[in-house]
A and B are shown apart, each in its own frame.
Chain A
Amino acid sequence: DSGVTQTPKHLITATGQRVTLRCSPRSGDLSVYWYQQSLDQGLQFLIQYYNGEERAKGNILERFSAQQFPDLHSELNLSSLELGDSALYFCASSPETGGYGNTIYFGEGSWLTVV
């Protein structure tokens, strides 16, 4: 158990819909990362928040957005869903305040299936 909690574990929804994935980081970790894992793209970095502020942005679609709340939990919002958005979405956390040499700890992921 990494200490990173993600909900829901599985989600099935229709095209065009909107979903929210939730993440609670490890106790004390200030950084939260979101990654998308799919068969064709592999593990793609989406976005990072540090202590409530956006820190880095990767291959995140405009239809997707995220935020980190004062209690440090984070939500990833996916809207206007398409079949190609079906993937495993990971949240990860780390305590670092500066560079990226620290270990990041992954949750077990949220499986999203768009039908």
Chain B
Amino acid sequence: AQSVTQLGSHVSVSEGALVLLRCNYSSSVPPYLFWYVQYPNQGLQLLLKYTSAATLVKGINGFEAEFKKSETSFHLTKPSAHMSDAAEYFCAVSDRNTPLVFGKGTRLSVIA
């Protein structure tokens, strides 16, 4: 069965600092991996996804993630945090036969 673990339910960074949100997955078959963002009172929006092409995936708003099979990880990074990045971030996994399974989410706070 697919599962996702997001390390840290809350991450706080200063404006301009590196953002690193951690995600580890479990999958018995080649996975598809996603990061979604949820702003307050809104639905989920896709940031980026990995579907077995390049292991370094670039997404919207300056975010990127690297698929590391040996570490079963798909961590999300952004070099410089903006106040507008404050939101809830969800890592998710699926495979050819299984719909998206989400992690518990990580709330990102950005301090001025």
Query: What size tier do the contact residues of chain B reach?
Result: 20 to 34
B98 within 8 A of partner (CB): yes
Judging by beta carbons under 8 Å apart, are A100 and B102 in contact?
A: no
Q: How many angstroms from the CA of A90 to the CA of B42 in the assembled complex?
A: 10
Question: Shortest distance in angstroms between B65's beta carbon and chain A's nearest beta carbon?
Answer: 15
Instruction: Count residues on chain A whose CB falls below 8 Å from chain B CBs.
Output: 23
> A103 and B46 in contact (CB under 8 A), knowing A43-B90, A98-B96?
yes
Question: Shortest distance in angstroms between B57's beta carbon and chain A's nearest beta carbon?
Answer: 13
Pick the contact of B96: A45, A92, A101, A109 (CB < 8 A). Answer: A101
> A99 and B105 in contact (CB under 8 A), knowing A90-B43, A106-B44?
no
> A45 and B99 in contact (CB under 8 A), knowing A100-B94, A101-B51?
yes
Pick the contact of A42: B34, B99, B100, B104 (CB < 8 A). Answer: B104
B95 within 8 A of partner (CB): yes
A85 within 8 A of partner (CB): no
> Considering the complex, which residues of chain B in the window 29-87 have a beta carbon less than 8 Å from any beta carbon of chain A?
32, 34, 36, 41-46, 49, 51
Judging by beta carbons under 8 Å apart, are A45 and B101 in contact?
A: yes
Q: How many angstroms from the CA of A107 to the CA of B97 in the assembled complex?
A: 23
Chain A residue nearest to B49 in the complex (CB): A103
A58 within 8 A of partner (CB): yes
Question: Nearest 6 CB-CB pairs, A to B?
Answer: A99-B96, A106-B43, A100-B94, A43-B102, A106-B44, A101-B32
- 9 A/B residue pairs, CB under 8 Å, sorted by A: A43-B105, A45-B99, A45-B101, A56-B98, A99-B97, A100-B95, A101-B49, A104-B100, A109-B43
